Chains A and B, each alone.
Chain A
Amino acid sequence: MSFLSLIWLIFAPLIVAVIIMFPQFPNHQVKVRRFAKWFASFHFIYALLFLTFFDSSLFGMSYEKELTFFGMSWLKSLGISAKFALDGMTLLLVVLTTFIVLVTLFVSKIHIRSKHKLYYSMVFLLESSILGIFCAKDMFLFFVFWELSLIPVYFLISQWGNSEARRSAMRFTICSFVVNMFLFFGMLILYYYNFAVSNILTANIETLNMDNKLYPFWFQMLVFVNFLLGFVIRVPFIGFHSWYPDIQSKAAAPVNILLSGLLLNTGVYGLIRFNMQVFPEIFKIFAPVLLVWGLVNILYSGALCVVQQGIKKMVSYANISTVGFVMMGLASLNSTGFNGAVFTALASAIIFSALFVVISCIQFRTKSTYITALGGLGQVMPKCMYLTLIICFAAIGLPFLIMFTPKLMVLTGTMFSNLDQQLLVKVAAFIGLAAISVSAGYIMYFFYKVFCSVLLDQWKKLKDLSPQEASVLTALCLVIIYLGVCPMSIISVYQSVSSIILDVLQV
């Protein structure tokens, strides 16, 4: 389809962000918001068109497009080009990104009370950079978008968060910059040593491969660890996770949705694209470590989740815990586990965005996110309660809801994994199974504390969901149910990716 251009898909939000920031653009909140919503809707439909015309039987990348300036490609003499392409996995991530931005804009109205122009332009800048991360075919282009995404994140957290948000945002940004330097370091070495092996100066991700014995083992290990460090902080994994609940508890409600829906997926994507695809040999060696790390992630942050005071922190830890399943699935090194891992990433983005939408409704009404201040809200907000119940059940992984299939696939994949440490694999699968009940514990604890216990006096006059909020939540619930009932509709799109990556792994 000639009208489907990735360049437009990625750079249209950037252009809109610039247009909104122009002084000539009306500084009237209704106009800005309407413009943003209309644009986001069209952009979502445009992204859906990519999905419609996508040929999932094709192997490799499709919709390839190069950004040229008057016929010149970017940094040709360094082997770096501004090429964009999609495969099944990234296509789904792209559609998900545009969808979550749309959801966020529908929730933003009640929470964003000042600096409207800056807010909407930053949201679109973030969207543009995240799409760039997913679509970039070139390693350094990926890095450009990777760093670019930090700027809107900083502003979104610091400008509309609570009084402590500024400090947390600064801390996160500086830590990310430092960790990005490790990533950059790894990229530079990889770039050059690929040149030394193949004698072609290129940074194209598809052609990079460290899978040969020409280099000393410690060297490959060094590069791998650099990449791993760069990505695990974004996912986030235990040990590098403290920024996430910290920021989430201080940011404004719509920003929570953006962070949980967009930012975490980039880390998972990086792990798959670089650590798995470029360093298959090292990934095999690291797989048991990652498996255990994933398990620790699930259990430890699940435990942390229960002891939190604020519901935002609670949901953030639940989110981190769910991401542990992604790591388990990837570490199992077979196609069932891999497909399950990618599906888990997508599903957790949807579910936790939905939970943060619920939190935003509650925060708007009660101005509080502390568990002790809430309780029994189900009596005054029945619609909200029932919709949340669906989402919570989905988060636990009940059948016919979105999370059931991926968790099943991850655990099956782990169980039948071909790793050398068979005992570890079996034990891990069983612990993972038990961990589902842990997740049931903390999710239902959250639900009980907010909606079921005694209703405080000051909340007796709360209103139920407005039509707009109800429609947003209903849409999310419909997605959750639809993908739970027919999961193959989504798995079939990216099945070919797993076979490509696992072929490289030669398992």
Chain B
Amino acid sequence: MGFYKMSEIFTTLISTCFPEFILVLFILFGLIASIFFNTHFYKLSKWVALFGISLALCSTFCLQIEPDAYAFNGAFLNNIYTVFFKILILICGFFLTLLSRNMIREKRDRAFEYFSVFLSGLLFAMCAFSATDFVSLFVCLEALGLSCYLLLSFSKGADSKQLIFGYLVQGAVVSALFLAGLSLIYGLCAQVSFEEISLYFANAAVSQAQPQILLTFSLILMMCTMLFKLGLVPFSSWLPDTFEGASCPIGAYMSCIPVIACFGVLPKILMIFLNYTFTMKIIFACIAVITIILGSLSALRQDDLKRIMAYSMSVQSGIMLLGLCVFSVYSLSSVLFYLFCYIFANIGAWAAIIVLFNSGRLQTLNDLKGLIYHRPYYVIAFTIILISLAGLAPTCGFVAKLYIFSAVARSGFIFLPFLMIALIGTVILVYAYWRVIRAMFRRIETDIEVDTHVISSKFILYACAFAMAIICIFADKIIQLCQLAAYYM
């Protein structure tokens, strides 16, 4: 009997949460190894992490995804939508691991520790997609936030701790707000599971009896934590400072993993509420548009590449939120495609910054001067990536922009002004990226030593630039995939 139960548990494990299980094993291994292995083996840690991520990536094929697979008494869900996001997170984690060379060289004694925290961030992001109730969702998001704080503490630099402290405090406040919103919802319908709550509201809508204001208020409270993680408008102040204080690989991590996590989870929350509160749609659209305009205007005046990337993340999240708040299958798939393109362009841009950093320069626009005469391929790759982020023609960024804005256009007259403002905002953003490109093409008299031995960062830079062009050509396949995932949402 006991044996039968064990095998049953094991089958469930393999068919529903195998990748998570593998990650847990590797996190534990990393923690144990950090005790026993000394600094001589620090290089091993990166390979262990890469191996773990690839193993988890392979194991996603074992998952049972159709029909929706539940585990642990319905607390853990797997379908095409969640698997899409899990694969995205794992690929992203793979690239980010390759970018982490600096971190483990600077802190050799803590290399294994670093990767344990790194992998646990991925793990909790993956669990957040599979969550079916607000409690486990909150726990996952909070743990993801914790691993971000821990990773930030690995950053070097005199004032980085001070810059990061603001992030920590604000993060604590918004997670308290999330809990407050959650308790209001619980008070309203005495449920925590998504399904039950949406059922409650469906019934309430039939009987015309739901308390609108309380619902909107609690939703706003819960959204605060999402807005904070994405760097959207009321909570965008932490973003540039934290990114400036963080080391480059951690900046890359912070601008990818939480963004994917939030955009994987947001549709689940919005699906419950958004059909009943039209005002929320307008509020979200306003937030998105204000973020786009403010973020791109602030990006215009920055000289630090990291700060530009921070504002860029904020604006891109704003565009995605605008796509999300009109809420249909079409718009959801467009958001997924935009996210897909944004993630790879973003990793490529951070890889370019890391290459720059490794060649002994700082990350201001002045340090980019004259690069075209010394590193033409680097400049071309970086230019392609920036063009893609700006959403201009021969790259996949254009297709993504076209798709997401067409989704906004088809959602009704009321969103057209928002669409127009967002389009104008993207033009401002184009100029912000253009300043970076122009700096690289500037002539410089003194001959500069450019020396890079970091294969992995350069490889990622070129791979991402190549992907931008390839995805543009074969966008159709990926769009179909995104539509499939969105359909199963």
Contact = CB atoms under 8 A, between A and B. Distances in A.
- Among A143, A174, A188, max chain B CB count under 10 A is at A188
Nearest to A146: B393
A23 B406 contact: no
A129 to B, nearest CB: 9
A78 B376 contact: no
A140 B402 contact: yes
Interface string A139-177: 010011101100000000000000000000000001001
Nearest to B420: A185
B405 A23 contact: no
Contact of A189 (B392, B416, B431, B483): B416
A487 B63 CA distance: 72
Contacts of B214: none
B393 A77 contact: no
Interface stretch (B169-177, B338-346, B422-430): B422-430
Interface string A51-74: 000000000000000000100111
A142 to B, nearest CB: 11
- Among B399, B473, B476, max chain A CB count under 10 A is at B476
A73 B376 contact: no
A120 to B, nearest CB: 18
Contact of B376 (A23, A69, A189, A192): A23
Given A148-B393, A178-B427, A192-B409, A77 B419 contact: no
A181 B427 contact: yes
B398 interface: yes
A143 B376 CA distance: 29
A51 B285 CA distance: 51
A144 B402 CA distance: 11
Overall SS of chain B's interface: helix
A192 B393 contact: no
A185 B402 CA distance: 10
A72 B476 contact: yes
A23 B372 CA distance: 13
A91 B475 CA distance: 30
A119 B480 CA distance: 40
A23 B424 CA distance: 37
B85 interface: no
Contacts of A73: 476
Contact of A74 (B394, B420, B476, B480): B476
B95 interface: no
A188 B406 contact: yes
Contacts of B376: 23
Interface in B468-487: 473-477, 479-480, 483
Contacts of A140: 402
B324 to A, nearest CB: 17
B178 interface: no
A315 to B, nearest CB: 31
A74 B475 contact: yes
B409 A184 contact: no
B301 interface: no
A185 B475 contact: no
Interface in A72-110: 72-78, 80
B217 to A, nearest CB: 33
Given A147-B393, A148-B394, A75 B420 contact: no
A197 to B, nearest CB: 12
A191 interface: yes
A177 B475 CA distance: 24
Contacts of B427: 174, 177-178, 181
Contact of A188 (B393, B409, B476): B409
Contacts of A191: 406, 409
A195 interface: yes
B422 to A, nearest CB: 9
Contact of A185 (B393, B423, B474, B477): B423
A306 B376 CA distance: 47
B385 to A, nearest CB: 16
B293 to A, nearest CB: 13
A174 B431 contact: yes
B462 interface: no
Interface string B380-417: 00000000000011100011001101101110010010
A69 B470 CA distance: 11
Given A74-B476, A147-B393, A191-B406, A184 B399 contact: no
B392 A147 contact: yes
A376 B376 CA distance: 49
A181 B406 contact: no
Contacts of B475: 74-75
A185 B419 contact: yes
Contacts of B413: 219
A280 B188 CA distance: 55
B473 A69 contact: yes
Contacts of B424: 178, 181
Nearest to A73: B476
Contact of A177 (B430, B474, B483): B430
- Among B408, B410, B426, max chain A CB count under 10 A is at B410
- Among A77, A145, A148, A184, max chain B CB count under 10 A is at A77
A74 B399 CA distance: 10
B398 A75 contact: no
B474 A192 contact: no
B193 to A, nearest CB: 34
A426 to B, nearest CB: 40
Contact of A144 (B394, B416, B474): B394
A77 B424 CA distance: 27
A161 to B, nearest CB: 16
B476 A77 contact: yes
Given A188-B409, A191-B409, A75 B476 contact: yes
Contact of A72 (B393, B394, B408, B474): B474
A140 B398 CA distance: 10
A73 B413 CA distance: 31
B410 A195 contact: yes
Contacts of A195: 410
Given A74-B473, A147-B393, A174-B431, A188 B419 contact: yes
B393 A144 contact: yes
Interface string A194-219: 01100000000000000000000001
A285 to B, nearest CB: 21
B431 A77 contact: no
Contacts of B479: 75, 77-78
Given A73-B476, A74-B473, A195-B410, A181 B393 contact: no
A168 to B, nearest CB: 16
A189 B423 contact: no
Nearest to A72: B476
Interface in B347-398: 376, 392-394, 398
A181 B426 contact: yes
A184 B423 contact: yes
Contact of B406 (A72, A192, A196): A192
Interface string B277-305: 00000000000000000000000000000
A19 to B, nearest CB: 15
B409 A189 contact: yes
A196 B411 CA distance: 11
Interface of A: 23, 69, 72-78, 80, 140, 143-145, 147-148, 174, 177-178, 181, 184-185, 188-189, 191-192, 195-196, 219
15 contacts: A69-B473, A72-B474, A72-B477, A75-B476, A77-B476, A144-B394, A148-B393, A177-B427, A177-B430, A184-B405, A184-B423, A185-B419, A188-B405, A188-B408, A195-B410
Nearest 6 CB-CB pairings of A with B: A192-B410, A188-B409, A181-B423, A144-B393, A147-B393, A192-B409
Interface of B: 376, 392-394, 398-399, 402-403, 405-406, 408-410, 413, 416, 419-420, 423-424, 426-427, 430-431, 473-477, 479-480, 483
Given A72-B474, A145-B393, 11 more contacts: A69-B474, A75-B476, A76-B476, A77-B476, A78-B402, A147-B392, A178-B424, A181-B426, A184-B423, A185-B420, A195-B410
